[in-house]
């Protein structure tokens, strides 16, 4: 048995892994969050669903099947009011750029800024959405699946600001804040973020699974 409780998060995004580790450790002392680079390679499913929950579910179930560990997956994105909720589930690949995350993030941010160039400040409302799914083994043979959602409302600004976070954090100011989520200290971002809200909701379920095993 491992010295510390372990969960698998189906991502290579180091920002997401650090965020998940930081938040879960407050609820599950000593928890170790493993990412895709920490387990043997497996065929990763395509994110073909039209909803955040659908994409998170297929990733969590694939992770559980491949690793046997309680598996978390999230799908998240930015829904911009002036773009009728886009990029939404396409947020990570909005600009269609492949390669390193930093390059993809910059291309996505540049495209979003150009699409909103003529949109006045009062119409630049947006919301980050996140669905986190936990898939765990069960005695019935069918995985048990738990899903939670989190939302953070705010607005898209006109230039990149900040060096923390990832993705669209450099362009997004949450309601009640004049700094971007990339300029917030990690703990302050966790307190208001869509992912932080979802993880705090699912953390007790993760803790129950790790302490009780299947069917928790």
Residue at token pair 């989520």: 181
**What does the pLDDT read at residue 1?**
44
Q: Which residue has the higher pLDDT, 64 or 13?
A: 64
CB 214 within 8 A of CB 139: yes
Tokens of 114: 């150009």
pLDDT of residue 131: 97
pLDDT higher than threshold 50 for residue 52: yes
- Residues recognised as catalytic: 75
What the chain holds in terms of domains, given with CATH numbers, is 6-212 (3.90.950.10)
- The Cα 79–Cα 168 span in angstroms is 11
List residues bridging with 41 in a β-sheet: none
Say how far apart CA 118 and CA 116 lie, in whole Å: 6
Per the annotation, where are the binding residues for Mg(2+)?
A: 75
φ, ψ at 110 (rounded to 5°): -65, -40
Residues making up the annotated binding site for substrate are 11-16, 76, 166-169, 189, 194-195
CA distance 155 to 28: 33
**Average pLDDT over all residues of the chain:** 92
Q: Where does the chain have alpha helices with state H? A: 14-24, 52-67, 101-115, 186-192, 194-212
Tally of CB atoms within 10 A around 161: 16
Confidence of residue 213 (pLDDT cuts 50, 70, 90): low
For 2-18, the three-class secondary structure string (H helix, E strand, C coil) is CCCCEEEECCCCHHHHH
Q: How many CB atoms lie within 10 A of CB 96?
A: 10
Indicate the pTM of the whole model. Answer: 0.87
pLDDT at residue 216, as a whole number: 43
> Model confidence over 170-202: pLDDT tens digits?
999 999 999 999 999 988 998 999 998 998 899
Q: Which residue has the higher pLDDT, 92 or 13?
A: 92
What is the Cα–Cα distance from 154 to 120, expressed in whole angstroms? 15
pLDDT-derived band at 212, boundaries 50, 70, 90: confident
């Amino acid at each position: 048995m491992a010295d510390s409780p372990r969960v698998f998060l189906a991502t290579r995004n180091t920002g997401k892994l650090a965020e998940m580790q930081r938040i879960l450790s407050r609820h599950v002392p000593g928890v170790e969050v493993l990412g895709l680079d920490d387990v043997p390679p497996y065929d990763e499913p395509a994110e073909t669903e039209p909803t955040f929950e659908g994409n998170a579910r297929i990733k969590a179930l694939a992770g559980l099947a491949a690793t046997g560990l309680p598996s978390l997956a999230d799908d998240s994105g930015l829904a911009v009011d002036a773009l009728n909720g886009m990029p939404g589930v396409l947020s990570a690949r909005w600009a269609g750029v492949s390669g390193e995350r930093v390059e993809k993030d910059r291309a996505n941010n540049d495209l979003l800024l150009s699409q909103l160039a003529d949109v006045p400040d009062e119409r630049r409302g947006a919301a980050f959405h996140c669905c986190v799914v936990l898939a765990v083994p069960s005695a019935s043979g069918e995985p048990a699946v738990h899903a939670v959602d989190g939302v953070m409302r705010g607005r898209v600004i006109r230039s990149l600001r900040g060096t923390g976070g990832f993705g669209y954090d450099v362009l997004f100011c949450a309601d009640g804040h004049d700094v971007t989520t990339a300029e917030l200290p990690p703990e302050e971002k966790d307190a208001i973020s869509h992912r932080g809200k979802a993880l705090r909701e699912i953390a007790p379920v993760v803790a129950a699974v790790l302490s009780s095993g299947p069917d928790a």
